[in-house]
Amino acid sequence: MALRALFLTAVLSAATLSAGQASAHAKLVSSDPAANSIVAAPKAIRLTFSEKLAPAFSTFDLAMADGMKAPVKTTVSADRKTITGVPTGRLMAGTYKITWHAAAADDGHRMDGTLAFTVK
C-alpha cells in the first residue's frame, strides 16, 4: 500500500511539474504604431501580448535614434494583455525605439524586445 501511495505521489508531482513547464510566455502580438511604420506623432503607444501580464514587471521605454529618452507613462490594461504608454510631451519628427519588458502573470517568465517606428 505504501509503495502504491509513493508511486501515485511521484506521478502527480511529475504531472504538476510538466504542466508548469508547458505554460506559454507572453509574446508581443501587435503594436500601435506598428513596427517600422511611419506615423503622425501618436498620443499613445500600445503593445499587446499573447498572455496576461504581471503589471509590476511589464513596461517599456521610448528613445530617439540618438539614444535620448522620451518620457512616457505606462500602464497595463484591465485585461492585463496590453501595455499603454502616453508620452509626457509631443514626439518630434524622427525615429523612435521602444524597448519593452513583459512578465507573464502565470509563470513570471520575463520577455524583452525592441521595435521601432518613425514620426513624420
Distance between CA atoms of residues 86 and 3, nearest Å: 60
Residue 32 lies inside a defined structural domain of this protein: yes
* pTM for this predicted structure: 0.80
Task: Render each residue's pLDDT in the chain as its tens digit; 120 residues.
Answer: 544 443 433 333 444 433 444 456 899 999 999 999 999 999 999 999 999 999 999 999 999 989 999 999 999 999 999 999 999 999 999 999 999 999 999 989 999 999 999 999
CATH of the domain at 101: 2.60.40.1220
Examine residue 10 and state whether it is found in any structural domain, yes or no. Answer: no
In a domain, 9, yes or no: no
Give the strand order in the sheet containing 38-39: 38-39, 110-119, 94-103, 59-64
Domain that holds residue 35: 25-119
Region label for 67, one of left (φ > 0), alpha (ψ between -120 and 50) or beta (otherwise)? left
